[in-house]
A = this chain, B = another copy of it.
Amino acid sequence: MRDFSQDHRWLSINTATIRKSRGVDLPLPDIIEACARRGIRAISPWRDQVAAAGLATVSRLVKQHGLALSGYCRGGMFPAADEAGRKAARDDNRRAVDEARELDAACLVLVVGGLPGALAGKAAHKDIGLARSQVTDGIADLLEYARSAGMPLAIEPLHPMYAADRACINTMEQALDVCDRLDPQASGALGVAVDVYHVWWDPKLQAQIERAGKQRILAFHVCDWLTPTADLLNDRGMMGDGVIEIPKIRGWVEAQGFAGYSEVEIFSSGNWWLRGHDEVLDTCIARHQTVV
């Protein structure tokens, strides 16, 4: 297991972590600048932030600062209520691959979607089995395109509390079943993003990380689970403030040969997004060296 205590060379910042500074939206160029100033070598930006700043501008800034992208957030949201919706998702996902390629991301992270309409509080149906089937079909279709673009796809199993509205792939086992079906040769074109927030509770986590192996582990995300958790979406904790055994899980992942970045992804409307982004980044660095 790598020693993170001496520096932060393996720290990546998911840009949602400082999406807001003192409660105000922070533009992606400012985020990039703040990361680069601290010697942070990698980020993982969100598409809406890239779109707001302009893909060409972001691409230039990333290259100028020599930043790596530990991932690109995000593709997915495959299930739709009708064929038009599925086609729109397909087109949008291909654009996401193109953007990820332009930014030279390590992978495109897939948040696969749940019941169509559920995110807006109006589920078109309740058939999660159908949604799962559409997700598999959607990934299969996108995989061909992504392969030809040389962009790995990382299925991110989300915590089961997001099964209805954000992602109906909810365990590592389930994600790896999809990988085995669509990429049986484990080519590296399809794998998983292991986010400790989503998977820490899983009694089969260690076994499934071992099953995944180096070829399937494309990203590693950290934050912490707070007790109590005040909000299902936006109350993630800073590493060390919650109950997740992050070093243990990182040890399992690295035992498989994973040697990429440890990406901090914190959504925190009630705490970290209200603080200044300089304080947040400094805290990320300190915690990366001490509790990750």
A171 near B203 with CB under 8 A, answer: yes
A243 at the interface (CB under 8 A from B): yes
- Cβ contacts A to B, 25 pairs, < 8 Å: A115-B227, A118-B227, A118-B243, A123-B227, A126-B245, A127-B245, A128-B243, A128-B245, A132-B203, A159-B161, A160-B160, A160-B201, A161-B161, A163-B201, A164-B201, A164-B225, A164-B242, A165-B227, A165-B228, A170-B202, A171-B203, A174-B203, A228-B232, A229-B232, A232-B232
A201 near B128 with CB under 8 A, answer: yes
Residues of chain A touching chain B, judged by Cβ–Cβ distance below 8 Å, are 115, 118-119, 121, 123, 126-128, 132, 159-161, 163-165, 168, 170-171, 174, 200-203, 225, 227-229, 232, 242-245
Please name the residue on chain B nearest to A161 by beta carbon.
Answer: B161
- Residues of B within 8 Å of A228, CB to CB, are 121, 165, 232
The answer, among B121, B159, B202, for a CB contact under 8 Å with A227, is B121
Per assembly, the copies of the chain total: 2
Known: A123-B227, A228-B121. A115 touches B243 (CB 8 A): yes
- Which of A119, A121, A229 counts the most chain B CB atoms within 10 A? A229
Shortest A196–chain B CB gap in Å is: 12
- Residues of B within 8 Å of A127, CB to CB, are 245
- Residues of B within 8 Å of A115, CB to CB, are 227, 243
- Residues of B within 8 Å of A225, CB to CB, are 164
B201 near A243 with CB under 8 A, answer: no
- Residues of B within 8 Å of A170, CB to CB, are 201-203
Shortest A142–chain B CB gap in Å is: 21
Known: A165-B227, A227-B165. A243 touches B203 (CB 8 A): no
Please name the residue on chain B nearest to A121 by beta carbon.
Answer: B227
Q: How far is the CA of A174 from the CA of B207 in the complex (A)?
A: 14
Q: How far is the CA of A161 from the CA of B230 in the complex (A)?
A: 12
Q: Which are the 7 A-B pairs with shortest beta-carbon distances?
A: A163-B201, A160-B201, A118-B227, A161-B161, A164-B243, A126-B243, A160-B160
Known A-B contacts: A160-B161, A164-B227, A174-B203. Give 6 more (CB < 8 A).
A115-B243, A121-B228, A126-B245, A128-B243, A164-B242, A165-B227
